[in-house]
């Protein structure tokens, strides 16, 4: 039996926000996906949030100890939303007895067969999986019927917002004080996959998760974006860079020309890093050819 522990961060928000409407859809879809799952897959649901937000969490989630820190510990600015740190959220899962940890954002809905599909790939030996969402029209804000949402394939999305890690890999996650809800959280998690996973899998088009709202690059707080960008490039990326391998990053299985285009267009990946990894890969292949030539000459 494969044991999955799915952790989310529910948020108490104003009824004027999109998340107020979409978060209940997320809860319902997670419950439906768990009910759909066979006896060969065990799914435990966990929620972690701030103390005054626990009342919004459905009772089919197990509450983890509340969050203690937020971006307010970095910026004493009451105008900023109290965004949590992704490192603290995931660290709450450290003591869970499970095989794999699943993390998704609070606005990401699941297809009924989500957990079964993860189990299928896990049985094939993948130790880290990223799932890109499908984008649905805003018109579904007023129609939350799950079967209707399921039936719409929606549009693909280039960003990464759902991650699955083998429990042993969680000890490698060092995400410093990246705050949730701002770019570079997904960037950091993808690069951790490329650094530490032995057999990662990137599902970029599959109809496994959905998000109501078709935007790709929503408006972002410049102050918090600058904070997350600095945290990633000054602290996280330098630690991961020596460990990254091209064959463990997204798009590796594509022909080199398609891989280059997709890598350079994806906002979660970086062109200079691609050029470096592609160059290293070519050098390794060239060395292997030259070594083989050398051994054959020695055999004569």
Kindly report the number of other CB atoms within 10 A of residue 286's CB atom. Answer: 10
- Closest by CA to 167, choosing from 89, 101, 122, is 101
pLDDT tens, 27-62? 999 999 999 999 899 999 999 999 989 999 999 999
Q: How far apart are CA 124 and CA 289, in angstroms?
A: 30
250, 263 Cβ separation under 8 angstroms: yes
Q: How far apart are CA 236 and CA 56, in angstroms?
A: 33
208, 214 Cβ separation under 8 angstroms: no
Q: How far apart are CA 167 and CA 236, in angstroms?
A: 20
Q: Angle at the Cα of 230 (from 225 to 232), degrees rounded to 5?
A: 95
In b/e form, how buried is each residue of 110-139, taking b as 16+ CB within 10 angstroms? bbbebbbbbbeebeeebbbbbbbbbbbeee
Q: What is the DSSP letter of 140?
A: G
Q: Angle at the Cα of 164 (from 275 to 261), degrees rounded to 5?
A: 25
pLDDT tens, 173-192? 999 999 999 999 999 999 99
Residue 6's DSSP bridge partners are: 45, 102
pLDDT band at 134 (very low <50, low <70, confident <90, very high): very high
46, 62 Cβ separation under 8 angstroms: yes
The structural domains of the chain, with segments of one domain joined by +, span 2-245
17, 32 Cβ separation under 8 angstroms: no
pLDDT band at 291 (very low <50, low <70, confident <90, very high): low
Q: Is the pLDDT reported for residue 154 higher than 70?
A: yes
Lowest-pLDDT choice from 128-137, 180-189, 266-275, 287-296? 287-296
Residue 2: its H or E element: strand 2-8
pLDDT band at 63 (very low <50, low <70, confident <90, very high): very high
Q: What's the mean pLDDT when you consider all of the chain?
A: 91
Q: Give the mean model confidence (pLDDT) for residues 289-294.
A: 59
* Predicted local confidence at residue 278, as pLDDT: 80
Lowest-pLDDT choice from 39-53, 152-166, 258-272, 285-299? 285-299
CATH match for 2-245 among 1.20.58, 3.90.550, 3.40.630, 3.40.50: 3.90.550
Q: Give the mean model confidence (pLDDT) for residues 69-77.
A: 94
């Amino acid at each position: 039996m494969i044991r999955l522990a799915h952790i989310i961060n529910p948020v108490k928000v104003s009824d004027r926000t999109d998340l107020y409407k979409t978060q209940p859809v997320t809860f319902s879809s997670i419950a439906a996906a768990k009910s759909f799952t066979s006896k060969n897959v065990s799914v435990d649901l966990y929620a972690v949030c701030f103390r005054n937000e626990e009342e919004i969490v459905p009772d089919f989630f197990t509450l983890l100890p509340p969050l203690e820190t937020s971006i307010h510990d970095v910026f004493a600015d009451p105008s900023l939303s109290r965004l949590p740190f992704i490192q603290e959220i995931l660290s709450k899962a450290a003591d869970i007895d499970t095989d794999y940890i699943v993390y998704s954002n609070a606005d990401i809905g699941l297809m009924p067969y989500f957990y079964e599909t993860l189990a299928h790939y896990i049985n094939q030996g993948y130790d880290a999986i990223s799932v890109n969402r499908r984008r649905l029209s805003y018109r579904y804000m007023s129609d939350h019927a799950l079967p209707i949402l399921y039936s719409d394939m929606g549009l693909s999305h280039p960003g990464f917002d759902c991650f699955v890690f083998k429990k042993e890999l969680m000890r490698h996650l060092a995400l410093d004080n990246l705050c949730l809800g701002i770019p570079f959280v997904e960037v950091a998690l993808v690069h951790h996959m490329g650094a530490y996973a032995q057999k990662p899998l990137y599902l970029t088009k599959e109809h496994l998760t959905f998000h109501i709202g078709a935007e790709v690059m929503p408006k972002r707080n410049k102050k918090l974006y600058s904070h997350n960008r600095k945290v990633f490039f000054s602290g996280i990326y330098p630690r991961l860079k020596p460990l990254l391998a091209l064959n463990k990053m997204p798009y590796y299985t594509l022909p080199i020309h398609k891989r280059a285009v997709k890598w350079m267009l994806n906002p979660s990946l970086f062109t200079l890093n691609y050029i470096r990894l592609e160059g290293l890969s070519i050098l390794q292949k060239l060395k292997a050819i030259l070594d083989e030539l050398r051994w054959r000459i020695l055999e004569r």
